[in-house]
Amino acid sequence: MNEQPFFASLLESYFIALGVLIGGSIIGGIAAFFTGKPPLTEIFNLSNSIRIWAIIAAIGGTFDTVYSFERGVLDGQTKDIIKQCLLILSAFGGAQTGAQIIIWLTQEHLPK
């Protein structure tokens, strides 16, 4: 199986986390609307609660990451550790960007 270039993996990780966070929050807000809850408040709350799941989805689960860390530590392949750290940081960035977009859209952070 061909591995994709590392920069493409970074971009993919970023945008997967971004999409999971924004998509999950907005779809959850639609469900909140149908159940009579305030949609914008639920969208904001969901974006805070699914942030970690967006990161996990973006890095492709935890076992591949743990295996890469193990290989980096035990086999002395520090390049793999650095790559995995950058992928995780990219996913964190995508999730943070998605959360910031949700905050801007819902304006739940403004004092009342």
Element holding 95 (H helix, E strand): helix 78-106
Burial (CB count <10 Å: 0-12, 13-18, 19+), residue 4: exposed
Cβ atoms of residues 69 and 84 within 8 Å: yes
Identify which has the larger pLDDT, 1 or 84. 84
Residue 15 has pLDDT above 90, yes or no: yes
For the chain, percent of residues with pLDDT exceeding 90: 54
As a whole number, mean pLDDT of residues 20-34 equals 96
Q: What is the mean pLDDT of the chain?
A: 86
Distance CA 7, CA 13 (A): 10
**This model's pTM is above 0.75:** yes
Distance CA 25, CA 39 (A): 10
pLDDT per residue as tens digits for the range 77-88: 778 788 888 989
User: E strands of the chain, at which residues?
Assistant: none
- pLDDT confidence of residue 64: 66
User: What are 69's two structure tokens?
Assistant: 């860390």
Distance CA 94, CA 17 (A): 5
CB atoms within 10 A of CB 28: 19
pLDDT per residue as tens digits for the range 56-77: 888 886 566 677 767 777 777 7
pLDDT per residue as tens digits for the range 41-60: 999 999 999 999 999 888 88
Cβ atoms of residues 39 and 33 within 8 Å: yes
